[in-house]
Amino acid sequence: MTDIALTLAQDRLLRPGGLDTAGLERTFGQLLGPGVDFGDLYFQHARRESWSVEDGIVKDGAHSIEQGVGVRAMSGEKTGFAYSDDIHADALLAAAQSARAISREGGAQRGRSLLRGNARALYPALDPIAGAAAAIDAAEPTPASPPSAATADASAATAASVSSLSKPFVQVGTFGVETNANSGANKIRRNGMPAEVRELTSEGKTVWRVLVGPATSRSERNAMQRDVKDLGFNDAFTVKN
């Protein structure tokens, strides 16, 4: 192994779990005792991210993390395997003991009872849709230009007509590029629904929101939300304005 590869392995695999080469030597000492001919450790840490774009609109996104360590022990013609999702000293030693026992004794050993563990969480328990709705409700949208008197009168009349709903609009998405927002709004309009693009500036960052509505009743709003999801906007949710 080259020095660069070894340094990369230490930085990405060992140090985050509090491990070093001395810790690996202790694991091999546990694994390669009398009766075991060969053993090895296989570390894995992979991060994947993918995005799907259609007509300039992000349709889907995914992010995943895969990590763990596999342990193999060979004794004559028998091979024992063990695996741990956590990469730290205690997990490695436990996996080494299991692989060693399997390779030496095979099916003669009794299964271990299930134990509750304290695995490290790889993903925070956050709901991005709920977080976006809360941020939008808390933020004051900044209009692209001052509305005319006629527009203000029309907006007041619309607000009065939907006063029975606290959240009369369906937000289709938030876009970092205005062209993408307009493209999404036009697609919705072509399917017979009222859509508008609103500019929002918060903490020096500008985004464009696509809203459908306003709805005058809960059933109308639910129908709007269902229809925009049928168009591919699966993350649509209701908002106040």
Q: Do 49 and 99 share a structural domain?
A: yes
Specify burial of residue 165 (Cβ count, 10 A radius: 0-12, 13-18, 19+): middle
* Whole-number average pLDDT of the chain: 76
> Does the pLDDT value for residue 20 go beyond 70?
yes
- Phi, psi of 231, rounded to the nearest 5 degrees: -85, -5
The tokens 């995943």 sit on which residue?
Answer: 64
Q: Among 118, 28, 42, 127, which residue's Cα sits nearest to residue 83?
A: 42
Report the pLDDT value the prediction gives residue 210, as an integer from 0 to 100: 92
pTM above the 0.95 mark?
Answer: no
> Taking the chain, what is the end-to-end CA distance rounded to the nearest angstrom?
59
Q: Do 189 and 95 share a structural domain?
A: no
Which pLDDT band, with edges at 50, 70 and 90, does 195 fall under? very high
Task: Please write the tens of the pLDDT for every residue from 45-87.
Answer: 888 888 887 777 777 788 788 888 888 888 888 888 888 887 8
Report the pLDDT value the prediction gives residue 76, as an integer from 0 to 100: 84
- Segments forming the whole domain that contains residue 80: 3-108
Q: Do 91 and 49 share a structural domain?
A: yes
Tell me, yes or no, whether 113 lies in a domain.
no
